[in-house]
Amino acid sequence: MREMKATVFLGGGHITGAMAAGLRLAGYAGEIVVYDRHPEKVRALRRESRVEAARDLKSAMLRAEALRAGMLVIAVRPGSVREMLREVAACGVTPPRLCVSLAAGIPLRNLRAWMGPPVRWARAMPSPVCRIARGLTPVSFERSVTKSERARVRRFFAHVGPVMDLPERQLDAITAVHSPTHGYHALAALTKAAQAAGLDRATALTAAAHALSDGIFYWRESGQSLEELLREAATPGGIAAATMSAMDASGYARVVEKGIRAGVKRARLNARR
Ligand SMILES: NC(=O)c1ccc[n+]([C@@H]2O[C@H](COP(=O)([O-])OP(=O)(O)OC[C@H]3O[C@@H](n4cnc5c(N)ncnc54)[C@H](OP(=O)(O)O)[C@@H]3O)[C@@H](O)[C@H]2O)c1
């Protein structure tokens, strides 16, 4: 019955919407309370995912108290976290002991400084693919988070996809890497190149999506190594080999590395808030 405890989300934007939809899709029956300063967003979530809409922060916190909320999830943009926690402290209701921040780049030490013990902090970085219950969620914990609280956090996010424990120092890197935007970005670029090579848009999209999505699905399902699959798909001297070699010579690996470095750097800037 522990999973049936309520979870209170502060912030009802994109990631809360994706989480709530994924949780319901996965058959999660626990109470989900959402507060956002835009009531229309919360009303939409109530319709879509049967969340309980809190009309203001105090009533969200009172619901958390009354429902013995399992955890409080901070789901506002990184620049709004400090202000949100100030408002929580000022509303006069004791927060649940276990709080989870979804904010990219905001370290545990900042969260602890803004809202300290007895609150214990976890960080989670769900992917919006959690909407279809296939989102990978890396998690990190403050040392004070108990074993059973860690298990509760993992169980909660496991409803919407795989969960992996990571040391906090690796969270910025995985945030820059596991975003599904890489897939969308690559799909857009490959589709554009396919159109330039003479395919119509629909055919280009179908071909590019197959190359990326089904190719990676095959790698996952087959258990073969990338090297084996590359050998199978690219005959030496053939078309795929020529394509990859031209991409590599134009700095493909360097471009991807540069992008990831920029993402990590951006996440680290959030730590200075
Ligand atoms: N989107 C993703 O894929 C994703 C994935 C993993 C983690 N995250 C993290 O999740 C957090 C939320 O991201 P998001 O994309 O869901 O952002 P979002 O769509 O902008 O949602 C945040 C919501 O919180 C509201 N809000 C901010 N401060 C508030 C306050 N003091 N009181 C009440 N409501 C407040 C915002 O209103 P205003 O617009 O008026 O500020 C907005 O409606 C971020 O920290 C992000 O790093 C996002």
Indicate whether residue 87 lines ligand 1 (CB < 6 A).
yes
Give the per-residue pLDDT at 1.
Answer: 41
What is the DSSP code string of 67-85? TT-SEEEE-S-GGGHHHHH
Average pLDDT, the chain: 95
Query: Per-domain residue ranges for the chain?
Result: 2-171, 181-270
Measured in Å, residue 102 CA sits from the centre of ligand 1 at 9
Measured in Å, residue 92 CA sits from the centre of ligand 1 at 23
Which of 26-30, 48-52, 67-71, 218-222 has the lowest average pLDDT? 67-71
Quote the tokens at residue 197: 């090579």
Indicate whether residue 102 lines ligand 1 (CB < 6 A).
yes
Best of 33, 51, 76, 82 for a ligand 1 pocket test (most atoms within 8 Å of beta carbon)? 76
Contact between 150 and 158 (Cβ < 8 Å): no
Cα Rg of the chain (Å, integer): 21
Give the per-residue pLDDT at 38.
Answer: 97
Segment 12-45, tens digit of pLDDT? 999 999 999 999 999 999 999 999 999 999 999 9
Measured in Å, residue 103 CA sits from the centre of ligand 1 at 8
* CATH class in words for 181-270: mainly alpha
Give the per-residue pLDDT at 203.
Answer: 98
Measured in Å, residue 194 CA sits from the centre of ligand 1 at 36
Indicate whether residue 77 lines ligand 1 (CB < 6 A).
yes
Whose Cα sits closest to atom 46 in ligand 1? 103
* Average confidence (pLDDT) over 213-218: 97
Candidates 3.40.50.720, 3.30.70.890, 3.40.50.880, 3.30.70.20; CATH matching 2-171: 3.40.50.720
Task: Calculate what percentage of the chain has a pLDDT beyond 90.
Answer: 93
Ligand 1 atom nearest residue 36's Cα: 34
Per-residue confidence band for 4, with pLDDT thresholds at 50, 70 and 90 = low
Burial of 211 (0-12, 13-18, 19+ CB in 10 A): middle
Give the per-residue pLDDT at 141.
Answer: 98
Do 2-171 and 181-270 agree at the fold level? no
* Average confidence (pLDDT) over 152-163: 97
**Could you count the other beta carbons within 10 Å of the beta carbon of residue 213?**
12
DSSP H helices in 52-180: 57-66, 81-90, 108-114, 147-158, 171-177
For residue 7, the 8-state DSSP code is E
